[in-house]
Chains A and B, each alone.
Chain A
Amino acid sequence: MTDPVHTLAVEGITVGYDDRVVVHDMTLEIAPGAVTAIVGANGCGKSTLLRAMARLLRARTGRVLLDGTPIDAMPSREVATVLGLLPQAPVCPEGIAVADLVGRGRYPHQGWFRRWTAQDDAVVEQALVATDILDLADRPVDELSGGQRQRVWIAMALAQQTDVLLLDEPTTFLDVAHQVDVLDLLVDLNRDRGTTIVMVLHDLNLAARYADQLVALTDGRLYAQGDPSDVVTEQMVRDVFGMAARVVPDPVSGTPLVLPMGRHRTGRGAQRTDDAGATVPPVELPAAQPVP
């Protein structure tokens, strides 16, 4: 996109529900034009952070800055033309057609009196093409599979045409092939349109592989932020997920690959990390294939 790249940052925000603080005094800058993944244990406040960044929750202290302006001071509709959000569990209206649901992403671009235009049709169609669901355009969303449905929601976010896109666990409930599919699609979007992507991801290995920047949280605090190879270490997995693991280079992508170690079924490789934490060469693996 030719638009200037937008910046998103949080400055010392504290966010919570009722009398409970979930995110503590967090400061964070999202890398513009990059793919950022937020990782952390269940309940550590990933969704809460994302919701605060999308001004769904008001910060008790601190502020969220979009292009340097406090987001609370901006008109909602204006924010929605720059910053899109795909929540964890959006509700699908009964019987709605795919194209109509995707068309709801056009809402922020329509004023009180501006009606639907040919331009909106074109944007929706492009979003359907990008997510490869144009052939489903007139089908009711309720009849689609989980993977197809997730694409519909992503298409809706695309139709919103925002330069920053926040996604909360876009791959949950999908099988591994569809997970990779969705992540590839998001990287396409990032590469082709320069969209800044911030996503909460469950799978640490996919996060390390697909993200340019990793943000690791523990108990509502920032643990580390940076290049996945710097952030994902055995120490980090222990501190963030409370689990022993070995970290080896991913033979496919070269990014860190986390091999969890539970109490059972850990053999030779596991014992060798116990002494002194020295880097242990990975178990022999077939040579990495370049990914097409």
Chain B
Amino acid sequence: MTAVLDAAPGTGAVVARGRRARARRRRAVLLVLVLAVVVVAVVALCVGERTYAPTQVLRVLLGEQVPGASFNVGVLRAPRVLTGVLVGLAFGMGGVVFQTMLRNPLASPDIIGVSAGSSAAAVVAITMFGLSGAALSLVAVVAGLGVAGAIYALSWRSGVQGARLVLIGIAVGAMLDSVIGYAMTRAGIYDANEALRWLTGSLNSAFWLGVGPLAAALALLLPALLLLARRLPALQLGDDAAAGLGVSPDRSRLALLLVAVAAIAVATAATGPIAFVAFLSGPIAHRLLRGTGTLLVPAALVGALLVLTADLVGQHLLVHRFPVGVVTGVLGAPYLLWLLARTNRSGGSL
């Protein structure tokens, strides 16, 4: 071990080779994910009460008037698919930021009550104050931030520890779910479908009117999140190591938290908290891309894929129509149980 310090300088060739191999693997998986999202989106546009050929769908998308298809695809399905992609990206990216930052797979915004905060505020705003559009999004964002801040403050004991934050977050989430339930009972005009939207999430009320503001907000928030996430690799090594690398742990976490909550809340205001998408996307992306870099983009793509696929399944493959959140809920619940069981066995830390 001695004497090598001044011998063989190390040109970087060995390191570069390994790094390039991992980058290639990453690019390949990302490409497959993008293709999968595109394919499922096209299928979702084609399939329905009336099924159209991809060529017809393409003509509609290019702005041609196609009898029937222009309405079914252009007016009904396209905004639904686009909304699904957008919220999927937001849930996936926001969720994995939480999980990475707090170093705990359970610390996802839909488990620890952040989504429930946005959801509860949105339900109250709609049923009691009749809000909609940008004002509704704003209320959801503010409530999400407020709840995240409250959970953060409640679990603060000279620093934030992931496991404590998760427990407090789950309790806060349960409380907020009952707020949603109460608000729903006050609003007789809302049908069960609408209730499900706010409890588990649904794309049934995704129209062109909402796509614009959602896209605009996310076009701002997701790049901001990607930029801030450059500190995540340092933060992942623990607070002390991060500080040693020149990253202030508390300030970075706060900035990441603010932007991630905003993205999640904007998406929640559009579709309700689509169950477990934020929670599942990160771990799935991790499985696919293990050890090849940050998970933000892959988790976002997995999120979009999950939402689109689950909605397709819920709409067409089951005996009854189910909102997308019911399907993702069925997917996510067993994983949650497994994770909780494993956590319990290993003594509480993940």
Contacts and interface: CB of A to CB of B under 8 A. Distances in A.
B240 A107 contact: no
Contact of B18 (A79, A81, A97, A104): A97
Interface stretch (A123-131, A255-263, A281-289): A123-131
A131 B12 contact: no
A65 interface: no
A169 B3 CA distance: 24
Contacts, number: 144
Contact of B1 (A99, A125, A131): A131
Interface string A132-163: 10100110100000000000000000001000
Contacts of B286: 94-95
Contacts of B4: 129-130, 132
The range of chain A's interface size is: 35 or more
A80 B244 contact: yes
B16 interface: yes
A85 B16 CA distance: 26
Interface stretch (B124-132, B175-183, B245-253, B337-345): B245-253
Interface string B234-265: 10111111011111100000000000000000
B245 A80 contact: yes
A61 interface: no
A99 B15 contact: yes
Contacts of B247: 76, 107
Interface string A2-14: 0000000000000
A277 B226 CA distance: 66
A143 to B, nearest CB: 11
The prevalent SS among residues of B at the interface is loop
B94 to A, nearest CB: 19
A189 interface: yes
A80 B242 CA distance: 10
A91 B14 contact: no
Nearest to A89: B238
A226 interface: no
B251 to A, nearest CB: 9
A104 B232 CA distance: 11
Given A91-B237, A121-B15, A160 B245 contact: yes
Contacts of A193: 5
A275 to B, nearest CB: 45
B1 A181 contact: yes
Residue among B6, B19, B245 facing the most chain A CB atoms (10 A cut-off): B245
A55 interface: yes
Interface in A66-96: 76-81, 83-96
Contact of B15 (A81, A92, A105, A124): A124
Given A100-B291, A122-B10, A137-B18, A188 B2 contact: yes
Interface of B: 1-16, 18-19, 21-22, 103, 158, 227, 230, 233-234, 236-241, 243-248, 286, 290-291, 293
Given A85-B243, A134-B14, 9 more contacts: A91-B238, A93-B237, A99-B19, A100-B19, A121-B13, A121-B15, A122-B10, A160-B245, A184-B1
